[in-house]
Amino acid sequence: MADGDWQTAAPNTMGFKSDPATSFDELAKTGKLAGVHGVVALRGGRIVFERYMDGNDMRWGQSLGNVAFGPETLHDVRSVTKSIVGLLYGIALAGGKVPGLDEPVVAQFPEYIDLAGDPQRKRLTLRHALTMTLGTEWNENIPYTDPANSEIAMEQAPDRYRFILDRPILTEPGKRWTYSGGALALLGRIIERGTGQSLPEFARGALFDPLGINAMDWIRGQDGEASAASGLRLAPRSLARIGQMILQHGQWEGRPIVSKSWLDQSFQPAALVDIGWPGMRYGYLWYLGEEAITDRAGTYGERFVAAFGNGGQRLFVFPGLDFVLAITTGNYDSPDQWRAPAAILYNVFLPSLTGT
C-alpha cells in the first residue's frame, strides 16, 4: 500500500465523540497553531483527519522559504529520527546483524585502542546507549545554533565517533538520563557495520519499502555520515504509517517488519530515572506516557508511546484508543515549540476521542 492508497473515514464512523475538524479550525483561528505544517490522524487504520498549511520551513537549518505542504511533501522530523533508529536496531538485532544489548559500546570500535582498553568505558553498554543512560558528559540543553551544543560539536569534530566515545564519564551508567545525539551516532554506525549498508539504505530496505514509504531523505553531516540523531525527512503520512505498524504489533499487511518482542521491550520504561518531564519515562529511544482520562466509569490512565523532534515534530501512538497522530511544524529552536502540538493533542483529538 503506497501513501496515496490510504483509506479515509469520517470521524463519526470511527467512534469519535465530536468532529476534530471543528475544534482544529477554532483553535487555528486563535493563532495557537502558528507554524503547524501538517497533521495526519488515524483510527482503525484509516485517515480520519488530514490537514496541511503553507509556511516557512527549513532543511536542517537551511531555509526553504515558504512551502506549500501536501500529502507527499517531505519534512524534517529531527529527533523523531532517533525513535526510528531504535526500530532499525531491533530489526538488525533480530537478523543477527548487530551485537546484543549487554555488549560494551566501545568494543564495537576497536580502532580506538586507547579507549577500547579503558575498563571504565567497557561498562557502557548498547542498552545504555538505547536508553540514553551512558553517564558521559553531553549537553544539548543549549541552542543548536551554539557550537558548544554537544551535537553541533560532534558534527564539527574531525572524528565524530572518537569525540563521542572520549566524553568524560560523569556518573555510573544506567543511573542518569542524558539526552544524547551522540548515543544515536554510535548506534547508527554499529547498524551500518553490522549490515554492510549505509543507514539510509538499510532503513529503506528493512523498514520504509515494506511499509510502502516511497519518499524519504536522510541528511548527512559535513563528514558525509547520515545523521542518526536528527537527519530524517519524511511526509506526515509516512510517520503515521510507522505509528500504525506499531499499533499492529510490528506487522504490515500480514508481514512482520519489527518483532513484537522488540516493540514490547522498547516500550517498557527501561530508564527508571527522571527525564525532566513529569509523568514521562523513556524506553529504547521512545518516550512513554500516560494520560488521565475520565469517563462514566471513573478515571483511568491511557498509555501512549511517542517520538519527539525539534520544532514540534510529533508521533503519538495510543494503543488503547487505536489512534495515531503525526504532526510536523516549523517552530525549530523556539522555546514554545511544544505548544502547538500539545494544543492539537489536548484540545482537539483527546476530547474528540474520549468526550472529556
The single residue listed with the C-alpha cell 546507549 is 129
Confidence of residue 278 (pLDDT cuts 50, 70, 90): confident
- Alpha-carbon distance 192 to 195, whole Å? 5
Average pLDDT over residues 245-273: 93
The answer to whether residue 277 scores a pLDDT higher than 50 is yes
Average pLDDT over residues 68-90: 98
- Alpha-carbon distance 234 to 226, whole Å? 15
Average pLDDT over residues 200-206: 98
- Long-range contacts (CB closer than 8 Å, 24 or more residues apart) made by 98-105: 98/190, 98/191, 98/194, 98/195, 99/126, 99/190, 99/194, 100/126, 101/125, 101/126, 101/127, 101/130, 102/126, 102/127, 105/129, 105/134, 105/165, 105/186
Confidence of residue 273 (pLDDT cuts 50, 70, 90): low
Are the CB atoms for 138 and 150 separated by under 8 Å?
A: yes
Q: Residue 224: which residues within 8 A CB-CB, separation 6 or more?
A: none
In this prediction the pTM is 0.96
Query: How much is the mean pLDDT over the chain?
Result: 94
Confidence of residue 1 (pLDDT cuts 50, 70, 90): very low
Average pLDDT over residues 259-269: 97
CATH of the domain spanning 3-73+234-354: 3.40.710.10
What confidence score (pLDDT) does residue 12 get? 86
- The domain spans of the chain are 3-73+234-354
- pLDDT tens digit sequence for 40-74: 999 999 999 999 999 999 999 999 999 999 999 99
3-state SS, the chain, equals: CCHHHCCECCHHHCCCCCCHHHHHHHHHHCCCCCCEEEEEEEECCEEEEEEECCEEEEECCEEEEEECCCCCCCEECCCHHHHHHHHHHHHHHHCCCCCCCCCECHHHCCCCHHHHCCCCHHHCEHHHHHCCCCCECCCCCCCCCCCCCHHHHHHHCCCHHHHHHCCCECCCCCCCCCCCHHHHHHHHHHHHHHHCCCHHHHHHHHHHCCCCCCCCEECECCCCCECCCCCEEECHHHHHHHHHHHHCCCEECCEECCCHHHHHHHCCCCECCCCCCCCCEECCCCEEEEEEEEECCEEEEEEEEEEEECCCEEEEEEHHHCEEEEEEECCCCCCCCCHHHHHHHHHHHHHHHHCC
Average pLDDT over residues 146-156: 94
Are the CB atoms for 333 and 310 separated by under 8 Å?
A: yes
Average pLDDT over residues 11-25: 92
The answer to whether residue 6 scores a pLDDT higher than 80 is no
Confidence of residue 5 (pLDDT cuts 50, 70, 90): low
The answer to whether residue 177 scores a pLDDT higher than 90 is yes
- pLDDT tens digit sequence for 101-141: 999 999 999 999 999 889 999 999 999 999 999 999 999 99
Average pLDDT over residues 307-318: 98
